[in-house]
Structure 1
Amino acid sequence: MFFVPGIIVSVVTFPGVIIHELAHQIFCRLMRVPVYEVKYFQFSNPCGYVLHEATQDPLKTFLISTGPFLINTLIGMIILSPAAIDLIIFKDYSNPLNLLLGWIGFSALMHAFPSTGDAKVLVNNILKNKNVNVLVKLIVAPVIGLIYVGAIGSVVWLDAIYAAAIAMIIPNLFLLF
C-alpha cells in the first residue's frame, strides 16, 4: 500500500465529492431542513460541505448524515454498470465513454462513506441526546462505528476497495443471468 494525500484523491475523484455533497443537500431538502451554504467542491480541506440548520429529529439527522452512502452507491452503480459490463465482460477498452463513465461511477462509489464530521453529528444529535430512545441509540451506534471504520480505512484504500467491489456486482450478476 502507498500513501496518497486525501486532497489529491479528492481532486482526482471530484465527481464523487460533488455527488456526496449533493446527496446531503437532497436529504436536507427531503427532510425540510433549511440549507444555508453548499460547497460542492473546493481545492482545500474539506473538499465540499453542506451547512444546514441543526435538527433534533433523530430520523432527519440520520438520513442527512448517511444519505451520501445510499445516493453515491446507487448513482455509482447506475453510471458504472454499462461501462463495467463492457470493460469486464466484453473487454472493450476502446470506447472513451466507458472510461468516462467508469471514472465518474468509481469516483461516486469512492465517496459513498459518510465523513467523520457526519459521524460526530450523529453522536451529538442522537447518542448524546437524552430525548432519543435507547433503542434508536442502539441501532445508530454501530452505524457510527462503521463510519469511523470507513474513515480510518480510507488510509488503506478501503474506499477504493468498496468501489471496486460494488463495481464488480453488476457485471457478475449479468454473467449469472
Structure 2
Amino acid sequence: MNFKEFLGIGVLLAFLVLFLKGFLQSFFLSPLGNPFLAIALVFLSYRKVNLWLWVYLLFLGFISGIETNQEVLTLGYFLILGIFFDWVKGYLDLNSFRIKFFFWGANLLFFFAIKLFLLLWTVHFSFALSFWVFQVKKLIHFTLFTLFWAFGIDFFLKNWLVKKEEI
C-alpha cells in the first residue's frame, strides 16, 4: 500500500463504510458486525505489510474500538493481525477462496473470543443457559455480518487491490 492508495482507497473506504454502517444500524436497529475488521482482512489478504498499511491498520483499529470503548484492545488486535498475515502470506496462497474464507473466519472467531474473555473478566456472570445461548447467537450474528462485509468489500475492490508483482 502506498500513500496514493492510502488516501484514495483506504481512507475514503473507511469513511464510506462508517457512514453506511451508521445508516444500516439505524435501519435494522442492531449491530452489523465489524466492517473495519473486514476492511483490514481484505487489505491484508492482497497487500504486503509496509509502513502505510501499518498506519491504516492503526487507523482502522482506532475507529473500530471507539464504538465499544476498547481502543487499546482493537489497536493491539489489528497489529497482531498484521503480523500474523505477514507471516502467513509467506507460506500460503491467500488468493484461493477456501483458504481466504478459512483465515477470515478463524480471525473473526479469535476476535470474538478475546472480546468474550474481556466481558467475562470484567462482568459478573452466571452459568445460566440463556447467557450462553445469547453469546452463541451474538457470535453467529457477528461472524456472518463481518464475513458479509469482507466478501462485499473484496468483490468491489478486487480489481484495484490485485497487483501482478504481489501475487
TM-score by length of 1: 0.29
Q: Of the two structures, which has the highest relative contact order with CA contacts closer than 8 Å and spacing of 6 or more?
A: 2
Larger Rg belongs to: 1
Q: TM-score normalized by structure 2?
A: 0.30
Higher helix proportion (structure 1 or 2): 2
